[in-house]
Amino acid sequence: MSRILLVLIVLIGTAGAVVAYGDPKRISDAGDAVSTMLRKRVAAASASQAHGRVVEIPRGTGGEFAVRAKVNGVNAPMVIDTGATSVVLTFETAKAAGLPLEILNFDVDLETVGGRTRAAKLSLDSIAIGKLVERSVPALVVPRGQMKTNLLGMSFLDRLESWEVRSDQLRLRGYP
């Protein structure tokens, strides 16, 4: 919609220049001025939109980066874990998010900080962290009592444009 509006503005500006000036050089200059103005406006809009898709997370006192995410619309505390290949949910969080626990098959071997366990594969409708929202995110669920913390692993992080740690801040940047 905004592109159509921009094209329409350029056409109106050019037509107005033809009527107002009549001189080809002046028309060209007016067209260049309108194009420059539009490029600046589009760049500013893109920059503000991209800025809105950045989430900064401070390092916790234990050295971890913890965040409050929404899993299928339900609040869920998570710890960012770049060593985890997948998002991993506790049984309790999965239940609160309305996942079909009764039909899950816990057939994936998983190594956790607490030892070996088995997990079930599934796909989450959505995970949101601030304005970053990813849909159909592959995840694992562990049986009740196997983990105390949800992990935000690479199956989420790989979908982002970038993520980086600087000093004591983790910056997650989504695609515009």
Distance CA 34, CA 105 (A): 60
For residue 48, pLDDT beyond 50: no
The mean pLDDT of the chain is 85
* DSSP H or E stretch at residue 26: helix 24-52
pLDDT of 83 reads 93
Distance CA 65, CA 57 (A): 6
pLDDT per residue over 109-121, tens digit each? 998 877 899 999 9
Calculate mean pLDDT across residues 115-140.
96
* Percent of residues, the chain, with pLDDT higher than 70: 74
- Amino acid letter for position 25: K
pTM of the shown model = 0.70
Handedness of CA 108, 164, 147, 95 (dihedral sign): negative
**Higher pLDDT pick, 51 / 148:** 148
